[in-house]
Amino acid sequence: MKMVKRALATGAAFLIGSTPAMAAWSDLDLRVGVTEISREIHGLHTLILWICVVIAVAVFGVMIYSIATFRKSKGAVPATFDHNTTAEIVWTVIPVLILVGMAIPAARTLVRIDDSSGSELTIKATGYQWKWQYEYVGQGVSFYSSLAQESNFARQLDSGVDPATVQNYLLDVDRPLVVPQGVKVRVLVTSADVIHSWWVPDFAIKKDAIPGYVNELWFKAEKTGTYRGQCVELCGRDHGFMPIVVEVKPRADFDAWLEAQKAAAQAAAAPSTKVAMNSDEPAALRVAVAE
Amino acid sequence: MSTTHTHAHGAAHEHHDDHGPAKGIGRWLFSTNHKDIGTMYLVFSLVMFLVGGAMAMVIRAELFMPGMQLVDPGFFNTMTTVHALIMVFGAVMPATVGLANWMIPMQIGAPDMALPRMNNFSFWLLVAAFSLLILSMFMPGGGPASGWTLYPPLVLQTGDALPLAIFAIHLAGASSIMGSINIIVTIMNLRAPGMTLLKMPLFVWTWLITAYLLIAVMPVFAGAVTMLLTDHFFHTTFFAASGGGDPVLYQHVFWFFGHPEVYIMILPAFGIVSEIIPTFSRKALFGYDAMVYATASIAFLSFIVWAHHMFTVGMPLSGEMFFMLSTMLIAVPTGVKVFNWTATMWKGSLSFEPPMLFSLAFLFLFTIGGFSGLMMAIAPVDFQYHDTYFIVAHFHYVLVPGAVFAIMAGVYYWLPKWTGHMYSMRLAKTHFWASAIFVNVLFFPQHFLGLAGMPRRIPDYSTQFADWNMVSSIGGFGFGLSQLLFVVLIWQCVRGGARASQVVWDDARTHGLEWTVPSPAPYHTFEEAPVIK
């Protein structure tokens, strides 16, 4: 009953256009993002979308014209032609040319995305059912990042909590990944159990986290802020509940943050728990000790 | 063209050839008649369409608004998984096999399928397969919940459902392979004199090519799932990195099957539409030869594009480049098809009976699915689309208003030939408009959701995705309910209705041998082969 009420309320709000989620109506297109690559990808997306729109207008235009004009009810007499070699060559060759026109900028972007050289910071992201672990390689800083408590409570079956009242529902974590602004960050993506996938839409980068593989991606965020994404490879029951949150801080703030983390890690690395901080240990052991 | 010969004229035939259908349940259990088996396939696929559709309703109900209201996330995953397996292997494929069974012998002037007993076996195997699959949902540990792609290592976490689901796939695959062999043998050997390959109706052509695709890839899929089985039960490590195996290998093998599988579902749909548009345009199909070659090209290309489903697994640059370019190439033959259908209508004399309405909706909406497919072919942009609702929108556009609408168009086209009755045009048009409108309300907003960043296969979502999900769910419920009209219409048409004439559709006579036999088509047709000039 509560659910029905809520559905009605949402439905009513939806009709009169006053829900807080109303901003979503403007989210019809891919976001531009905050990296050079994301802008380039957005540009490619826009280019191809418009090519498709132009072709669609032409092709659908001919279809609609035919449907409107050549009607039996209007006494149309069918023509008898059943092929036209010239037309057939034209509509085979023109698409090829259009495709070549699309392929060239696409290939160029692909090559740029592939080049992860010159990164200044390497972070290893490991997927677990159902959380992420981030390790600042060579810095001795490592932590888990799980769905924030508030979201986790609200998302339980019939929790009675209206998701609209939860800040960043399902897109918030207890400990976000922190990276510096304007620095090429390389992320090594892997998994400790099943396949996950690491994606932050604003960085326009997505890579699968696969056990036994170390995949590589990179980004260079130009603006500070908090960027949110989710695991995008079905990874079991709580696949929908392992978000990715990245905080981009100015370089100096980031350095200060990292120093604080290092200090905290060293303080925590008392002999009894040392094994827990040794990232070379098998994942299962680390989890067992850490918990 | 000759008409059928009754027993009285066909004295040369052995006596037992002429008996009518057997009485009672035996008619169906032991049938070797292509029409009966075709009917069983079609009824089976309709039942599966409703079962898979009910699962889609569960999915859309849970996604109606943010928060978990109805089901456990694990059960949600079972719904997405089994919905897909049922729709792909239980609804779309058997429907096209049912149409093939009914129509291929009648379109090539053959008395029946070449291997009638195997025909019976392939149908009943399918029933066994889906009984197992549905049973698997009630096993300890829950039903299959790793997505229809069954990616390891996740799929190996399945409980007792795993062996049942895999055995179901084996049986369904064996059924498909036998069905394909039957279709190939029938087309190659039982064509009426004068029916050369390039005179065959397009539906026969597309099925011939589809059958080869099936034979090529079904064993590959069977191999992949068998390795899953041994990984799970016999401690092999084909796909386990910890034992030297490779989880990505499974994806390569799966999509080597999976991409041709997409065309296995859509090529017969192309064939159906290529039959219907000329009939209701009162004009020959434009560029018949080009249509055949385009179909063959699509089939060939389908074997070299599989890894575009895997752009994010971390392939080398050269791999991404190759699969991007080969995938883009598919746009060329597909474009040729769309242009040829359009040119068939150009300067025709169009009328808009239900089969034509569904074919036209196919033409528009499949093309939209084609456009999003082209967008996804562009690897760098696919990094943004991959595994989001944009993909869900894309493949539902090509499969629902694509393959499913074409199948419905085929049913509306041939139903009077099968039953001898015309159906209610009003009900059919209501079904059409309801389906055509709701399918867009259902799937078009999913493009927006995907672009806004909503991953697929999630049971709950952030509130920014709330509005379009609600719209999509409303479309989903509307579409689901509309299909009940289809069931009512078929039921009514089987039970009675105005008598259908032999050609059924004004001017259909020039469009295939099936219109040269009476309506309803006699139990045995073309016992004596017609001669094609």
Residue A158: strand, helix, or coil: coil
Give B178's Cβ-side CA count (13 Å radius): 19
CB B334 within 8 A of CB B309: no
pLDDT in tens, B11-53: 444 445 556 788 889 899 999 999 999 999 999 999 999 999 9
Contact with chain A for residue B197, Cβ under 8 A: no
CB B417 within 8 A of CB B500: yes
Among A63, A96, A193, the residue with its CB nearest the CB of B345 is A63
Neighbours of B371 (CB within 10 A): 21
CB B427 within 8 A of CB B485: yes
Among B247, B375, B465, the residue with its CB nearest the CB of A211 is B247
For residue B512, the model assigns a pLDDT of 87
pLDDT in tens, B395-438: 999 999 999 999 999 999 999 999 999 999 999 999 999 999 99
Are B331 and A45 within 8 A, CB to CB? Answer: no
Q: What is the mean pLDDT of residues A127-140?
A: 95
**Over pLDDT 70: what percentage of chain A?**
84
Contact with chain A for residue B284, Cβ under 8 A: yes
For residue B506, the model assigns a pLDDT of 82
Pairing of β A177-180 and β A243-249: parallel
**Over pLDDT 90: what percentage of chain A?**
77
Is domain B27-516 classified as CATH 1.20.210.10? yes
Q: Residue B366: CB partners within 8 Å, gap ≥ 6?
A: B266, B269, B338, B397, B398, B401, B402
For residue B19, the model assigns a pLDDT of 66
For residue B24, the model assigns a pLDDT of 87
pLDDT-derived band at A13, boundaries 50, 70, 90: very low
Among B247, B281, B462, the residue with its CB nearest the CB of A170 is B462
For residue B508, the model assigns a pLDDT of 64
Task: Name the pTM for this structure.
Answer: 0.91
Q: What is the mean pLDDT of residues A139-147?
A: 95
More confident residue, B98 or A12: B98
Best A73, A166, A214, A233 residue to mutate vs chain B (most B CBs within 10 Å): A233
CB A134 within 8 A of CB A150: no
Contact with chain A for residue B349, Cβ under 8 A: yes
* Ranges in chain B, pLDDT < 50: 1-15
pLDDT in tens, A77-90: 999 898 899 999 99
Region class of A282: left (phi > 0), else alpha (psi between -120 and 50), else beta: beta
Distance (Å, rounded) from C-alpha A182 to C-alpha B433?
53
For residue B175, the model assigns a pLDDT of 97
More confident residue, A284 or B24: B24
For residue A26, the model assigns a pLDDT of 56
Distance (Å, rounded) from C-alpha B16 to C-alpha B37?
19
For residue B253, the model assigns a pLDDT of 97
Contact with chain B for residue A241, Cβ under 8 A: yes
pLDDT-derived band at A253, boundaries 50, 70, 90: very high
Distance (Å, rounded) from C-alpha B253 to C-alpha B335?
28
Neighbours of A287 (CB within 10 A): 15
Domains of chain A listed by start with CATH number: 36-114 (1.10.287.90), 121-290 (2.60.40.420)
Query: What one-character-per-residue DSSP string does B256-325 give?
Result: HHHHHHHHHHHHHHHHHHHHHHHHHHTSPPTTHHHHHHHHHHHHHHTTS-GGGGGTTS---HHHHHHHHH
Q: Is the pLDDT of residue A4 over 70?
A: no
For residue B86, the model assigns a pLDDT of 97
Q: What is the mean pLDDT of residues A36-45?
A: 95
For residue B23, the model assigns a pLDDT of 84
Distance (Å, rounded) from C-alpha A103 to C-alpha B174?
40
